[in-house]
Structure 1
């Protein structure tokens, strides 16, 4: 039976053909993007039905319309309604001289001025600290409309599809004996969108039109090239951009119309190439300087010279190589129904399998080598006023966008996040100094944009220091790769974030160090007494957990790189002084240092369990009492969730080793929180749900966040490093532990199938990544591990944990493979 499974796995993996687990398919076009829909993001239609393409910077969606195709284009650098090119200090968004009133604001916290009235914590923070600079919003780029002169009522055999394995979209239909085919893709190697229209037993008449919701400063044609130049409104310096559309119709006639369109007549084969850029460059504080017109022209010219088949071939290889790195295979019978029908039919293993593979496609499509990371909508936005500005929310969302790049084997997608953090660190040093009076390190608030905005939000209730949260992903990328050159690159960012916290932490009533101002995103406390906007607090548990996480990572990085011993000792001295984590009156993990938790509170944020996930400091295997308290918290919060919250709960339950509960949330999101094009239904659309839930699937199948600090220990309770220990005097308090410097060399523990749901009795996964620099393939049958194949990306050691057994330390050289069968793990 094992040989049969292995053979089947080999056949599936080596086949490059389109199959159901990568294919989105529909039997009708997407809805038209009406004016009403573009003005109101709550109106469903095009954005929820059109299919996405992208190369990480340049994105597109196609509708497959019969009478008219609508290609919506996005450039991830195109923002509007903000400011750029200010002085270095002003560009950060900080309120100049705010630090002069910082202690006045802190007095409100020390004196416990709750609520929102004058003199309260929120009112004081808003009055003296909050930014007055506009954040702006992510904006749509341009549109292309291609009219066909076809009529819907004459069409038969219509199919619209997206092959997520190769990143190519298709439309096929017939009119009488004539067959019409379209192809679409967005090339990363050549940085263009390409399309092809072909006709069999017929000829085509097409009209190609370019437009934009922004101000068009020039629209003209040069031969068979459409050129649209425009600008997006800013408070001080409009963002300039250009798009070029090249139409190749072979020997068919192409005519430039007076309205700036191209008319194609009697064509059998039409190829269309699109290049587009803004003037944005990630240079603080100007954020401009790209010669966008020259680049647009040059890139288009290069693509035309290469030709369509060469562009398509290089694109398919690029995407398929990345998609092939990691695949999930659940055992099910394909339904052979359209994707929208598959969703309507309710939960299924087929849908769950497709969702996993499709999320990886979305990840590589919206984050590659662009200068900024994916935002709340990834890359795809058609609204001048998108939901939540389609910005960078640093209280979960932008971090969640990047959880799966490590475990689901897409580390190539991480570069934009790293580059953005460099900008935040440069900008945030001005916020640290001008807002808080701290001369060391950097700080950033709750919301970000592409122009280095790092100041506190305009509302005082949203005061938060986000550096520790953002740096968690930064260090995790090192943990998975063990790349010391990368660690050298990011170490100044880690250190700067830690330096800020060292100065920002202050003693509270009991003398322990807490962060304030802060909040527990985005929750309120003492609501009956002070109202639902009573959110500002001190020492919120999530930020205390993150501070410990950051200090521990900095100690490890400093140790590995053999630098900053004095600063390392400073962190080691501070850690025991941090306020402890506490178990409250209901047996729950306290959300705040005071026992304010409400057991009927079902708020979507559960930030005070961040040490459970994506942190690594709460675990059923190492901190059973804190884990039991986390279980109480999870039960209090309930099962009703938004898209991203559902995703996070999937990860939480996986870390709690409850596979069936984790699967319950994954099943709910895939079948009830997804639009027809499988975009996450928050509502409205947010892409973090897509990415976060797939992270949860990876956590069900493999976990590697625990470290073996005692390699002679035969059980995991004694072997693993523990970050919190019970206070001997107050048994419901758990104090932070100073990590031994040997932690830097401690092997990671690879926990196989820690939360396999009973709904997935048979299956396999290939290419999951584990911390320490390993790739893992796993086959299971009847809910039990059959075989695990572990390959080292570099020289390294690890231990295996499976079925309650902990292996001895195993060391592999780079490229070496170790195969484990369940019965061989000792």
Structure 2
């Protein structure tokens, strides 16, 4: 049961339910005995609509005047001018929950015993069992990607004992339902008035079909009734008109409707195809911690009880192996190669909280969408990134060309703080967190990471180069030369912090560390691509020369007198010294601009910045994704004790009983209750991967940040940059064996505990080394 989450109790709320998904449809299954609840979601179920009026007229002129005013030290005047620059929200919208599938069984009055519900991460199968009236009742549920259907099965050993009703509740959405031709059909509209005007959004059509054994199906009062069954099969299909409303249907045939499968005849095949589909992805990587006896003992305790015990201070290092796979599971549930949109704030699900507060449930481009996808590299799920690229190329970048021209007066493309199903790219609609045109290029760095992990040269040529080249076109025109010959940028923010000047809170300035490091990364990626695509680089020789000129003259990192890394080009203090965002440290992770080997002084300054943010720790603005970043920074800086501390804090303070990582209400991101965010889980998993294997800076580091409490264990199938599959086994905290399999012939540089060794790999041939391999070479 190493990859099984389980409980001996029914879920009382969404945060205890088990999540299923296929990259388009999502289901949160509660495991109710007499009344089962399945919260339904769909990745394109967005309110709002596309708009060509998101950029203010005259915004580009306002931006230039804001820059000039800041150069003159007139921050207040620049803020006033920003009113003519910020974006226009229009019908921005949000992802909404579709509704609930309800299954009510007749209650015999006898309390069931032996209840257990499980989520098998290897197969994506929810299962539930209990005994009642001397018979075992078994249930299974899954959301199939191959067949695009949600299935729910109930079986009992007592003949003709299942009777009850089935219906869909649309919640707060405009909803209608009817029965036709032996099917239950429902219509739901994505409409709300917090993030749009309530008149526009996606329309969804759903179908529920039921088959029973030994019983009878009827349709009273707009519901489905089943009577005297031994076995019940439920199939649910959903589709929306998103592509039509997003303007993506040109040249496409209109869908004829959901594929209707014969559950009675095809259920076993559908279930088998689903299990093999998920298994083929999940089994690419395995992680085992502890001895076999320890694993068996831990697996015998319900997962929710283990989480509760960890909250009360009991150490449970083996729970991290489960959490690591859970992050991979949630990613492949949320984003498949043909998903119509990338994973939003909550993946493919919706807890009905984020959509009802100011944040919205969308694609945040100042950390959340990026963190959703980092795991796809080492987690060996590269295809999960494809919907992100498709969305960017179809919607975000075309919109970003308009924003670049109308809001900044530049060529190329840009995107600011947030985006959505409609490709919003304009500046944010508040003067306090705008401008921020580097959100798009931060997301575009996923193109380079995809190439680095897969070595897909066709992708680099056809996708990565054009996207990055056009972003470079914007930012080489966006930067400007300061009096000292250094290139600056702005005005912009350091997401989402502010600083204090003359007793007043100020929000944007020129030369923010975050923005400069993002531009530095963009130019480095462009020149890297140009170096192995010389034919394309030759056509863009002028742009390449501009990048080569600007890169070494960008404003450098700066260390403040207190030893921390400067967040801005000035030295005014932060308005919130313990703010959840630490964007000025991104040169540590995800990038490798700051490393202990290459830039030790900057690495020490980054570490002191982290310590400062956390002191005192009980005032730190703690969230799942923000804690994940601290974990990732610590792993990259090889601060083992700190990384272990952040892991334990995540487990103790931020993990729900079903292992979902939460974002509690904070002073800077208020909410009426905690919010689920996918990046909390994928960020945690990414942190664990970085503790076991790092492959940035052209070197494969083995066990760079192994926690003391992970005394023995193994990991297999982690993907390193260069498309090298890696397996590692350790005992008593020491490397015993490492295996490497490359997709093509390559020479890799290995590092373990400061010892370095080259290793030549042939395509498809696994090479194995032991700890002794490193013992006879110098450092």
- Under a length normalisation based on structure 1, what TM-score does the superposition of the two structures give? 0.86
Aligned equivalents of 1:577, 1:617: Cα separation in 2: 15
Distance 1:647 1:806 in 2: 29
Which deviations, in whole Å up to 9, do the C-alpha atoms of 1:340-364 show, x marking residues without a partner? Answer: 1111111302221211111111111
Q: Which residue, out of 154, 168, 181, partners 1:197?
A: 154
Question: How much does 1:813 deviate?
Answer: 3.0
1:400: which partner in 2?
371
Aligned partners of 1:363, 1:496: CA distance in 2, in Å?
29
1:60 aligns with 2:27: yes
Q: Please say if 1:390 is aligned against 2:390.
A: no
**Inter-partner Cα distance in structure 1 for 2:108 and 2:693:** 51
2:6 corresponding residue in structure 1: 25
- Shift of the 442–599 alpha-carbon distance from structure 1 to 2, 3 Å rule, reads closer
Residue 532 of structure 2 corresponds to residue 560 of structure 1: yes
Q: 1:111 to 1:628 in 2, by over 3 A?
A: same
Deviation, structure 1 residue 434: 0.8
* CA–CA separation in structure 2 for the residues paired with 1:510 and 1:558: 29
State the Cα distance separating 1:168 from its structure 2 match: 0.4
CA apart distance, 1:282? 8.3
Aligned to 2:671: none
Moved more, 418-427 or 696-705: 418-427
From 370, 374, 381, give the equivalent of 1:410. Answer: 381
CA distance in 2 between counterparts of 1:582 and 1:215 reads: 51
Equivalent residue in structure 2 for 1:535, among 473, 490, 507: 507
* 1:339 alignment partner in structure 2: 303
Q: Which of 660, 683, 693 lines up with 1:692 in the alignment?
A: 683
Deviation at 1:598, TM superposition (A): 5.4
Aligned partners of 2:656 and 2:662 also within 8 Å: yes
1:99-498 alignment runs, 5 A limit: 99-114=60-75, 119=77, 121-150=78-107, 154-202=111-159, 203-213=161-171, 215-216=173-174, 218-233=176-191, 235=197, 237-257=200-220, 259-281=221-243, 285=247, 294-296=256-258, 299=259, 301-302=260-261, 304=263, 307-331=266-290, 333=294, 334-335=297-298, 336-346=300-310, 347-368=315-336, 369-383=338-352, 385-387=355-357, 388-422=359-393, 423-438=395-410, 440-463=411-434, 464-465=436-437, 466-488=439-461, 489-498=463-472
Q: Distance in 1 between matches of 2:134 and 2:287?
A: 40
Residue 662 of structure 2 aligns to a residue whose secondary structure is: coil
Post-superposition Cα deviations, 1:116-144, rounded to whole Å, max 9, x if no partner, equal xxx2x333223333324242111111321
Distance 1:274 1:284, change over 3 A: closer
CA offsets 1:667-714 (integer angstroms, 9 cap, x no match): 2112321111111121122221111111111111111111xxxxxxxx
CA distance in 2, matches of 1:283, 1:624: 52
Residue equivalent to 1:35:
none
The answer as to whether partners of 2:500 and 2:575 remain within 8 angstroms in 1 is no
Deviations 1:725-783 (A, max 9, x none): xxxxxxxxxxxxxxxxxxxxxxx211111111111121111111111110100011111
Q: Which residue of 2 aligns with 1:664?
A: 645
Show the counterpart of 2:663.
682
Tell me, in whole angstroms, the C-alpha distance in 2 between the residues paired with 1:559 and 1:283: 41
In 2 relative to 1, CA 243–283 (structure 1 residues): closer, same or farther, beyond 3 Å? closer
2:41 is matched with which residue: 58, 63, 74? 74
- Match for residue 762 of structure 2 among 808, 813, 821: 813
Instruction: Indicate the residue corresponding to 2:554 in structure 1.
Output: 578
4+ aligned runs moved over 6 Å, structure 1: 287-293
Instruction: Please report the RMSD computed on the Cα atoms of aligned residues, expressed in angstroms.
Output: 2.1
TM-score (norm 2): 0.91
Q: Is the 8 A contact 1:427 1:453 kept in 2?
A: yes
Q: 5+ unaligned residues in a row in structure 2: which ranges?
A: 665-673
d(CA) in 1 for partners of 2:40 and 2:249?
21
User: Is the counterpart of residue 502 in structure 1 residue 476 in structure 2?
Assistant: yes
Is the 8 Å Cα contact of residues 214 and 231 (structure 1) preserved in structure 2? no
**Structure 1: tracts of 5 or more residues without a match:** 1-18, 32-45, 707-747
For 1:501 and 1:101, how far apart are their aligned partners in 2?
18
| Residues 498-647 of structure 1 mapped to structure 2, 5 A cutoff | 498-526=472-500, 529-531=503-505, 534-562=506-534, 563-565=536-538, 566=541, 567-597=543-573, 601-638=577-614, 639=617, 640=620, 641-647=622-628
Distance 2:422 2:401 in 1: 15
The answer as to whether partners of 2:58 and 2:84 remain within 8 angstroms in 1 is: no
Say yes or no: does 1:704 pair with 2:705. Answer: no
C-alpha contact (below 8 Å) 1:105/1:128 kept by paired residues: no
Distance 1:600 1:132, change over 3 A: closer
Answer yes or no: is the 8 Å Cα contact 1:27–1:159 preserved in 2: yes
Q: Quickly say closer, same or farther: Cα 1:658–1:494, change in 2 above 3 A.
A: same
In 2, the alpha carbon distance for the partners of 1:540 and 1:214 equals: 43
Using the TM superposition, give the Cα deviation of residue 559 of structure 1 relative to its aligned residue in structure 2, in angstroms: 2.0
Of 726, 732, 754, the residue aligned with 1:782 is 732
Q: How much has 1:820 moved relative to structure 2?
A: 1.3
How far does residue 193 in structure 1 lie from its aligned partner after superposition? 0.5
Query: Contact (CA 8 Å) 1:421, 1:493: kept in 2 or not?
Result: no
Query: Secondary structure, in 3 states, of the residue corresponding to 1:765?
Result: strand
After TM superposition, the structure 1 stretch with the greater mean CA deviation from structure 2, 284-293 or 143-152, is: 284-293
CA-to-partner distance for each residue in 1:465-499, whole Å, 9 max, x for gaps?
Answer: 11221112221111111111111222211111111
Which residue of structure 2 lines up, in the alignment, with residue 654 of structure 1?
Answer: 635
CA distance in 2, matches of 1:660, 1:393: 31
**1:125–1:460: 8 Å Cα contact kept in structure 2?**
yes
**Matched residues in 2 for 1:433 and 1:627: separation?**
37
Distance 1:432 1:524, change over 3 A: same
Deviation at 1:184, TM superposition (A): 0.3
Is the CA contact (8 Å cut-off) linking 1:590 and 1:597 kept in structure 2? Answer: no
8 Å Cα contact 1:217-1:230 kept in structure 2: yes
**Partner residue, 1:37:** none
Deviation per residue, 1:290-319 (Å, 9 max, x gap) = 8887332xx2x2464861110111111111
Deviation at 1:597, TM superposition (A): 4.3
Aligned CA distance change for structure 1 residues 128 and 768 (closer, same or farther; 3 Å): same
Q: Match for 1:751 among 673, 698, 701?
A: 701
Alpha carbons of structure 1 residues 806 and 167: separation in structure 2 relative to 1, 3 Å: same
